[in-house]
Amino acid sequence: MDKKPIIFANWKMYKTVEESVRDSLKIDSSIRNPHQVEVFILLSYTSIYAVSQALRGKSVKVGAQNVFWEDSGSYTGEVSPLQLKDAGCEYAMVGHAERREIFGEDYGMIARKFKAVMRHGLIPILCVGESEQERASGKTEEVIRNQLEVAFGGTVPPGGQFYILYEPVWAIGTGVTPTPQEANHINLLVAEVIRGLIGKSAERARILYGGSVSEENISKFLSMDHIDGVGIGKASLDPENFARLVNACIRD
Ligand code: 13P
């Protein structure tokens, strides 16, 4: 399996189409040895097509921050995996903590999204992670285990890779993180739980960390045995800053 570090930007609800195209191109042209890393940007729906066109044949790829599970139908306001693929996406995130907390998504819904994305040959990024209270009451491992059990319930579609993002809710946008060793421990737990749930298919998983990743800590997270990549929110919004973070992980 390809073991390049995976580094993605989650631009959340920021940037116009023009800004997204300009900043994506800036990132693409600033990465030193692009074949050493897998880099993609999760964009607002409105920017996906324009950015994927602008990045054609380049190394940085495009993904969505959310998706619906049906292919088409009367689902006002939703976007299907087919539509994302058509617009140039290769990745789709499911179950980000902001979707769970603000929009009430539960793991039943997230499981359907996860499987729909895989069925269409996109790479899903499934988010798991405990809240501050769950951590304080010593429930981190139980929460992660439950989230994975629901997401992987039933059958998992055959096909390519899937990414799991361990993103503790208390670390998102706060500047506070678990230690690289703590994150590594949870990522190992994720790997073991998935192996227990789906056996050999678990080899398709890559397990990432997200939450306040910065220039100071990115190399430390990526040096851990069970952290295959990182997801970056705030520190990815400035294209020069994000490119610097990516370049910090590239050997000359
Ligand atoms: P921050 O890097 O701003 O903590 O955001 C992380 C995130 O939500 C990535 O999905």
| Strand partners of residue 232 | 9
Q: Which amino acid belongs to residue 78?
A: E
Beta-carbon count within 10 A of 181 CB: 9
Nearest atom of ligand 1 to the alpha carbon of 42 = 10
Nearest atom of ligand 1 to the alpha carbon of 97 = 8
Residue minimizing CA distance to atom 8 of ligand 1: 233
**Which residue in the block uniquely carries the two structure tokens 């998102």?**
172
* DSSP string of 36-51, one letter each residue: G-EEEEEE-HHHHHHH
Q: How far apart are alpha carbons 208 and 126 in whole angstroms? A: 10
Q: How long, in residues, is the chain? A: 252
Cβ 172 under 6 angstroms from ligand 1 = yes
**Which residue in the block uniquely carries the two structure tokens 């994000």?**
242
Structure tokens at 98: 């902001």
Per-residue pLDDT, 250 = 84
Cβ 211 under 6 angstroms from ligand 1 = yes
Ligand 1 centroid, distance to 212 Cα (angstroms) = 6
Structure tokens at 35: 């074949």
Q: Which amino acid belongs to residue 171?
A: A
Instruction: Enumerate residue ranges in the chain where pLDDT < 70.
Output: 1-2, 252
* DSSP string of 214-226, one letter each residue: -TTTHHHHHTSTT
Q: pLDDT tens, 122-180?
A: 999 999 999 999 999 999 999 999 999 999 987 788 878 999 999 999 999 999 999 99
What angle do helix axes 17-30 and 45-54 make, rounded to 10 degrees?
40
Q: Out of 3.30.230.70, 3.10.20.740, 3.20.20.70, 1.10.287.70, which CATH number does the structure's domain 6-247 have?
A: 3.20.20.70
Structure tokens at 1: 């399996």
Q: How far apart are alpha carbons 205 and 228 in whole angstroms? A: 10
Cβ 217 under 6 angstroms from ligand 1 = no
Alpha helix ranges (H) inside the chain: 17-30, 45-54, 81-86, 97-103, 107-119, 132-136, 140-151, 180-198, 218-222, 239-247
Pick the catalytic residue from 38, 105, 134, 167: 167
Residue 96 bears catalytic tag: yes
